[in-house]
């Protein structure tokens, strides 16, 4: 259980917070169970092909595994509605990228979940993510699974727009005039970068945002510092 701060459920515009302990499953425990107890096997050939492909096509994650022997992992954040009550939750899952069972439900493992109405954004997520990051660092260096050391490396971060807005406290979202994460297009009437400009050479096309610009301009400075 990890303690974090959440919003209290109450009527009106006033927001009060309270500490709450939530369950967090560590990647190393999940991976030890999968590769130890259940006997999951990822062939060395598949791992080698993954990193060779990354280097051949100059992928951003090509050097994440210095020796090319780390099993690539993915982290996936998403929102979902809990059918019996209609409550919306935000959840983070772990996946082994080279494991592709017939049922996608067998390829995702929950790390933690938070009711959306209780989320304070980074203030809620940061304490929950911290032990997961520490666990992933141990996985990178190698964990013992039945007397065998297996190394893992995160090579994929995925999530919908809503997840990234909640998790990183972005300055843009679907609710704002500037809603795009790839350019400066706008929904504001009269804006020179209007998304209604569907000409062959629209003004917004000249405002493409790189990954570096995204990090520098769309994540609030105080939020970025809080994750360091």
pLDDT, residue 12, reads 60
d(CA 113, CA 89) in angstroms, rounded, equals 7
CB neighbour class for 131 (10 Å; exposed up to 12, middle 13-18, buried from 19): middle
d(CA 192, CA 73) in angstroms, rounded, equals 42
pLDDT, residue 219, reads 77
Edge-to-edge strands, sheet with 87-96: 109-115, 87-96, 71-82, 152-159
- The model's confidence at residue 13, banded by pLDDT at 50, 70 and 90, is low
More confident residue, 60 or 222: 60
Q: What is the pLDDT of residues 23-76, one digit of tens each?
A: 999 999 999 999 999 889 999 999 999 999 988 888 878 888 988 899 999 999
Mind giving me the DSSP string for 148-162? EEE-EEEEEEEE-HH
CB neighbour class for 116 (10 Å; exposed up to 12, middle 13-18, buried from 19): middle
């Amino acid at each position: 259980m990890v303690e974090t701060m959440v919003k209290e459920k109450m009527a009106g515009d006033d927001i009060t917070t309270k500490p709450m302990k939530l369950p967090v499953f560590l990647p190393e425990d999940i991976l030890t169970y999968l590769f130890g107890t259940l006997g999951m096997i990822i062939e060395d050939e598949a791992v080698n092909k993954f990193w060779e492909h990354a280097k051949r096509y100059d992928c951003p994650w090509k050097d994440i595994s210095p020796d090319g022997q780390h099993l690539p992992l993915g982290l996936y954040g998403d929102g979902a509605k809990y059918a019996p009550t209609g409550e919306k939750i935000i959840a983070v899952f772990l996946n082994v990228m080279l494991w592709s069972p017939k049922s996608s439900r067998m390829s995702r493992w929950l790390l933690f979940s938070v009711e959306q109405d209780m989320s304070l954004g980074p203030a809620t997520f940061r304490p929950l993510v911290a032990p997961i990051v520490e666990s992933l660092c141990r996985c990178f260096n190698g964990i013992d699974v039945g007397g065998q050391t297996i190394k893992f490396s995160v090579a994929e971060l995925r999530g919908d727009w809503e997840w990234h807005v909640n998790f990183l406290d972005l300055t843009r979202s679907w609710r704002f005039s500037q809603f795009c994460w790839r350019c400066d297009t706008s929904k504001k009437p009269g804006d020179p970068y209007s998304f209604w400009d569907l000409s062959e050479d629209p003004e917004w096309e000249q405002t493409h945002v790189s990954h570096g610009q995204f990090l520098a301009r769309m994540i609030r400075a105080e939020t970025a510092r809080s994750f360091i």
